[in-house]
Amino acid sequence: PSVGHVVSAVVMLCYLVAFRTLLCTFNELCIRANEAPDGKWSPGNTPGVSIIKPLKGVHSLLMQTLSSCFELNYPKLEVLFCVEDANDPAVALAQELIAKHPDVDARVLVGVDTFCPSARINPKAANMAKGFRAAKYDVLWGADANTLHTSHDLSCLLRQLCPARMGLVHQMPWL
Tens of pLDDT, residue by residue over 9-61, are 676 665 655 555 555 554 554 444 444 434 455 556 678 889 999 999 998 89
- pLDDT of 104 over the 90 cut: yes
Contact 20, 175 (CB under 8 A): yes
**Among 6-10, 109-113, 118-122, 159-163, the range of highest mean pLDDT:** 109-113
Residue 160: is its pLDDT beyond 90? no
Mean local confidence (pLDDT), 153-170: 65
How many of the other CB atoms lie within 10 Å of CB of 80?
A: 25
Phi/psi for 87 (5° steps) reads -90, 0
Q: Give the pLDDT of residue 87.
A: 96
